[in-house]
Structure 1
Amino acid sequence: MGSSLYSIGLSGLQSSNARINTTGQNTANVDTEGYSRQRTDTTSSPVGGVVIRDTARLVDKFVSAQVRTDTSTFSYYDAYQSMISTSDNLLAEDSISLNTYLNKSFDALQAANNDPTSVSLRQLAHTSLENLVRQYHVLSGVVSDQESLVDEQISSSLEDLNAITTKISNLNTQILKHEGLSISPANELRDQQELLAKDLSKYIDINAQFNDKGLMTIQLANGQPLVMDQYPTKIIAKTNPLEPKKTDLMVNFGDYEVGLKTQNLGGSIGGLIDYRSEFSVYADRTLGQHAIALADAMNTQNKKGVDANGEFGKDLFSLGEIKVYSALDSIHKAKNISVKVADGQSAKVTKDTYELTRTDDNRFSIKKINMDGKSAEKPIIFDPNLLAKDSDGYFNINEFGLDLRLADLSEIESDDVFRFTPTESAASNLSLFAKNGELIALSAPLSVSTSSDNLSDARISLISVANTNPDSSAFSTEGSLYPSAPHQIYFTSPNSYVVRDASGVDIATVSNVTQYTKLLEQAGLSDDAGFDVAVSSKPQRGDVFSIGTDNLGVSNNFNGLALADLQNRSLVDGKATLIKSFSGFIAYVGSKTAEIEGHADASKIVMDESVARRDRLSAVSLDEEAVNLLRYQQSYSASAQVVTAARTTFETLLGIMR
């Protein structure tokens, strides 16, 4: 009995000592980040006494997984918010608002219209347009600077991420070695792994699991591996050759690479990538579409008038080159493809990317791809050999509002893919082509006159100029009207008239007239002529009205008024005015920012609750450890008394035997 009592007391001492050591370890690591409270478990021995089983970490793998998930979600919105709130503050700043500069530009055009002969007013209008262009560059710079910052942060984050996966892999090796040589678990090493896994979840959404050896493996949320036992992979960023503004992520396995899907990536890296794809790219293309609409409308309208030098107006703005991209093995062929926005068709140009491929020997296909990477519409199939080309070799794709030129068809093969985005960087590439205010075409390209011998009080007026192109209108290259064009309208009665050319030959007859507007349209000549006229009231028989280019006045502001009226036209996407479109963009930025901020606040609350739940189980409580220490000390003392009693009993038995 004494020997048994001695064993019981000794096992009690060992058990209490082990628990005191565990309590001391817990207390010492109360402020150690990532440390999980440990507990030494025991069981009673069938032969008496207590047996120490093991010292385990008090963790719940489901709670730990939830902490990682919630941390990833918060980090996603926090990174997104950091970028978009900065963009919101900059773009919404009144001092750099595009609408302020648009209003100043159109106000300056109106002032020039008040006195088209004033060189100073024309130059003021030109300066206002220069400032407007500069402001497009400023806003585009805000977006591009943010993009550069995002790229830097992604690069830095990937370095940190890859360093963490390497550390987790190294810890797997250490754990395997430690637990292979010892019966005690590598609790502290596993704590370090858990902490690293949590840190990893700040960058990207992960699943942490344990294999049959008890080693941690890391997979992305989509199942792609990051840490396989003792072998880490790396995530690297690469430029997409078809869309250089898009960042592609690749999982590097050493000998080969696999593309990583960036949808629902989570973490700060996912937030930065989504900021680029959902906002940054959108902002750049929105500003680009705005700039294209302005430039195309102003250029088209300026060509319909006459400048201060008495010449047809030319382009006021210049749009930069639309870059064509392809895969690395066919990038040299992209030089054969040229793209530009078709004159007067900017309303058809969307923010989508366009993909050009060859379908067979003669035909090509072009389709839209939206910012989500999905085909937006059915492709347009065309044979470039059957399409009319201009003097520069461009043919028109009317459905998309684009002009294309394919220089060497023989080089382009069926498996080649080419992409271009007309609105990409269009705002930063916008420039003012007109060198001075005298090139702003304020005057009408022709004049109309009422004969002094007319019997009525009706007066003729020019109501529209739609086209001054010598190839498709009544205007010659020199600016005069072709002899065969309408030169005179003669009323044969108050309700009928004839249209005559320069030689007085009738080229159209109109009868049963009830409206005295759009006279050339009623005669079926307005499309070919490129202009139209009206008379103010009912004419009399014999009234004559003349049309020509001989008496163009420098004080005429007919086309200048049309230029200024572009402020009120739905130019952007054919749906919104320039000012309304930009205001809508700023409203979108503010709304998106508020949405992301709301998600960031909510996700932080959820994350904090998950961390608190984990701490309730795994964190060290000094009060609890103090109670445990006192209890285990008392248990130790009691076990020592048992050992003492066993020794006394044993000595008594020996004495009796003597």
Structure 2
Amino acid sequence: MADLLSTGISGLLASQVGLSTVGHNISNVNTAGYTRQTTTFNARAPQFSGGYYIGQGADATSVQRAYSQFLTQAVWSASSGQSRAVQYAGFTAAANNAVSGSANLQTALDGFFGAVSDVANAPIDTASRQALIGKANTLVATFRSLSSQFQQIDKQTNQQISTSVDSINSLAKSIADLNGQIQRASVGGAAPNDLLDARDQAISQLSQIVGVNVSDAGNNMVTVSVGNGLPLVNGTASTQLSTANNPYDSSRLEVVGPSGSIISSQLGSGSLGATFDFRTNVLDPARNQLGRAAIAMTDAFNKQHAQGIDLNGDAGGKFFDIADPAVLNNSNNKGNAQVTATVTDVGKLGASDYIVRYDGAKWVVSTTAGVTVPSTGTGAAGDPILIDGLAITVPSGTPQAGDSVQIQPTRNAASTISVVVSDTNKIAASGPLAATKASTNTGKGVPGKLTVTDVADPNFRTPVDIVFESPTTYRVNGGPLQNYTDGDTITGNGWTLKLSGVPAANDTFSVKPAGSASGDNGNALALADVANKGVLDNGVTTVGKSYSQLIAQVGTAGAQANTALDAQQSILDQAMASQQSLSGVNLDEEASNLLRFQQAYAASAQVINAANTIFDSLLSAVRG
């Protein structure tokens, strides 16, 4: 009876372990990262009795996780990709909102050039001139508002980087601590399942921030590395990352490894990698494109404004002002060279930023992406380094080998644009020259389009009389006789004139400097035409088109980000489904197991009861 009692007790205890495991599964059905556990049973060694063996019952030999390392790592990888896509899509949406929001630059441009046209229609009207200055300030405010919004997004990337690094350090320490707990708890080969789940969950959370590579370190511990193999967790030790200011731009944060080197470019996966990718591939190009449009607007409008005459009779001065390109010294420079940069040709100005590095003998220029840029010049005051519409000089100081500066030709230009003109009399609406006809003319010819071709001509402002000796011939200031056909262009000293209608013999036309308050609108018409003038890309791209390119650039990035997010979400869903089909808790299955172990437990109790009854019967027989 002792054997039967022992057999029953073994079944009872084994079923109790099974019930406990099922109960644990059911209790953790909503626990993140929990892996379903199963109980393994083995029959006890039988007892030989004569010519046969008698079974001795069963033991619960282990409680194991329903676990696949392959499926788990697939989830980590998919989670990293999905988290990256979510972050990237969120940032690109913010950039899209900035360029397409209420501070719409195209609307401001249209309003400004509409006001210029109003001045052309009424060149000496004070109200029209005041309205133009108001629209100019609105345009400037729009440029600055967009630049400010981009700067705010830049600050958000800094906050995200700082928060991510703190989370990485916390999770790395947690994983290292769990490595130690798992090692100590792995007694006699038994696996501490719940601690293993906790470690896997911590790794999963880490993979959402940065891509991880997990390998077996022995003794039930793991090694976790990030980036290009940087060990983040090694056994019970964890590496702490930190942030530091960018060596060129102190307003930006970079991730620094334990050796002090910047590892930002190595973190391509997860939400942290997405933050750096967005900053490099979307935000910086957008800010540069906006600044490029501001520089183009300033340059084109100022050049045309300088060709006109204001109501005081003076040549037009600057209408807009804007800062020179930013030159940022590397904080690790050993020398004291001072580098400056100016825009010399807006038509050649690109949207790149540059690194200018001294190699010990000369200055070498490359883009921030590392592409070498062909250049001429030494950087001396009389021999500037010329690249992409920029002139770079080193007016003072001595560089040391390895010293470098970053040049941002357009990055912050939109935040520095301003309106110089505040006096309505200072708007140079009049052309520098005016064409008139004599009151004694008898023909139908009237001055048409007067175009300035070379304001630097030494005789540009010399008054000219054009006298027709017949409808087909004329002299300029009594000079040689020239033939004329209806529609011909008459060329003067830095200007051309077309007549409308046929002149008669002895008709006279004059071209002379425009006087103050003349009512001429020649320059105002030319200023209005700046809206349609190709300025950038060697005279191909207008200011308005440049802004359209910015919208398309950011919009395309946003659309691609959303497409990538859909794809990554699908990959994650599939990976999770595969992993959960093996490791997830199914309440229907657990209910079935619960009933099975309950019945086994009850049956084992009956075996014990039967053994007790038989034993009592034997005792009674002996006593009787």
* Alignment TM class, shorter chain as reference: 0.7 to 0.9
Q: Aligned-residue CA RMSD in angstroms?
A: 3.7
- Residue 380 of structure 1: aligned partner: 375
- Residue 72 of structure 2: aligned partner: 64
Larger mean Cα displacement after TM superposition, 593-602 or 297-306: 593-602
- Among 99, 109, 120, the alignment partner of 2:106 is 99
- 5 Å-filtered alignment, 1:214-613, equals 214-220=220-226, 222-244=228-250, 247-252=253-258, 256-262=259-265, 265-330=268-333, 333=336, 336-342=338-344, 345-358=345-358, 364-369=363-368, 373-375=369-371, 378-385=373-380, 387=382, 397=386, 400-408=388-396, 411-448=398-435, 463-468=450-455, 473-474=457-458, 481=461, 516-517=488-489, 519-520=491-492, 530-533=494-497, 547-549=511-513, 554-573=518-537, 574-613=539-578
Q: Deviations over 1:497-543 (max 9, x none)?
A: 9877xxx9x8xx898988842625xxxxxxxx654445668999999
Q: Is the 8 A contact 1:366 1:381 kept in 2?
A: no
Partner SS state of residue 218, structure 2: coil
Partner SS state of residue 39, structure 1: strand
- Among 192, 200, 203, the alignment partner of 1:197 is 203
**Shift, 1:299, TM fit:** 0.7
Distance in 1 separating the partners of 2:481 and 2:75: 83
Q: Deviations over 1:458-505 (max 9, x none)?
A: 66667332454xxx5427xxxx84xxx7967789999999877xxx9x
- Among 207, 211, 218, the alignment partner of 1:212 is 218
Larger mean Cα displacement after TM superposition, 424-433 or 583-592: 583-592
Percent sequence identity over aligned pairs: 29
Q: Is the 8 A contact 1:27 1:622 kept in 2?
A: yes
With over 3 angstroms needed to count, the CA separation of the structure-2 counterparts of 1:414 and 1:33, relative to structure 1, is: closer
- Residue 139 of structure 1: aligned partner: 146
**Shift, 1:382, TM fit:** 1.0
With over 3 angstroms needed to count, the CA separation of the structure-2 counterparts of 1:247 and 1:347, relative to structure 1, is: farther
Q: Is the 8 A contact 1:79 1:272 kept in 2?
A: yes
- 5 Å-filtered alignment, 1:176-191, equals 176-180=183-187, 183-191=189-197
- Among 84, 104, 120, the alignment partner of 2:127 is 120
Distance in 1 separating the partners of 2:31 and 2:350: 55
With over 3 angstroms needed to count, the CA separation of the structure-2 counterparts of 1:92 and 1:35, relative to structure 1, is: same
With over 3 angstroms needed to count, the CA separation of the structure-2 counterparts of 1:359 and 1:60, relative to structure 1, is: closer
Q: Is the 8 A contact 2:213 2:225 kept in 1?
A: yes
Partner SS state of residue 241, structure 2: strand
Q: Is the 8 A contact 1:447 1:462 kept in 2?
A: no
Structure 1: where are the runs of 5+ without partners?
Answer: 389-394, 521-528
- Residue 391 of structure 1: aligned partner: none
TM-score by structure 2 length? 0.86
**Shift, 1:10, TM fit:** 4.8
With over 3 angstroms needed to count, the CA separation of the structure-2 counterparts of 1:33 and 1:310, relative to structure 1, is: same
With over 3 angstroms needed to count, the CA separation of the structure-2 counterparts of 1:90 and 1:327, relative to structure 1, is: closer
**Shift, 1:73, TM fit:** 1.8
Q: Deviations over 1:595-621 (max 9, x none)?
A: 322332343333233223322222223
Larger mean Cα displacement after TM superposition, 415-424 or 616-625: 616-625
Distance in 2 separating the partners of 1:550 and 1:643: 122
Larger mean Cα displacement after TM superposition, 77-86 or 529-538: 529-538
Q: Structure 1 counterpart of 2:215, which letter?
A: Q
**Shift, 1:130, TM fit:** 0.7
Distance in 2 separating the partners of 1:626 and 1:464: 92
- Residue 19 of structure 1: aligned partner: 18
Q: Is the 8 A contact 1:293 1:571 kept in 2?
A: yes
- Residue 392 of structure 1: aligned partner: none
Partner SS state of residue 323, structure 2: coil
Distance in 1 separating the partners of 2:160 and 2:577: 29
**Shift, 1:637, TM fit:** 4.3
Distance in 2 separating the partners of 1:603 and 1:619: 22
Q: Deviations over 1:414-436 (max 9, x none)?
A: 42212211110111111111222
Q: Structure 1 counterpart of 2:347, which letter?
A: A
Larger mean Cα displacement after TM superposition, 582-591 or 74-83: 582-591
Distance in 2 separating the partners of 1:238 and 1:339: 27
- Residue 34 of structure 1: aligned partner: 33
Partner SS state of residue 328, structure 1: coil
Q: Is the 8 A contact 2:86 2:271 kept in 1?
A: yes
Distance in 2 separating the partners of 1:412 and 1:498: 63
**Shift, 1:152, TM fit:** 1.5
Structure 2: where are the runs of 5+ without partners?
Answer: 47-54
With over 3 angstroms needed to count, the CA separation of the structure-2 counterparts of 1:421 and 1:63, relative to structure 1, is: same
- Residue 160 of structure 1: aligned partner: 167
Q: Deviations over 1:592-651 (max 9, x none)?
A: 323322332343333233223322222223332232233233334444555667778899
Q: Is the 8 A contact 1:105 1:129 kept in 2?
A: yes
Partner SS state of residue 332, structure 2: helix
**Shift, 1:565, TM fit:** 0.5
With over 3 angstroms needed to count, the CA separation of the structure-2 counterparts of 1:90 and 1:356, relative to structure 1, is: closer
Matched, 1:87 2:95: yes
With over 3 angstroms needed to count, the CA separation of the structure-2 counterparts of 1:35 and 1:385, relative to structure 1, is: closer
Q: Structure 1 counterpart of 2:430, which letter?
A: S
With over 3 angstroms needed to count, the CA separation of the structure-2 counterparts of 1:200 and 1:386, relative to structure 1, is: closer
- Residue 629 of structure 1: aligned partner: 594
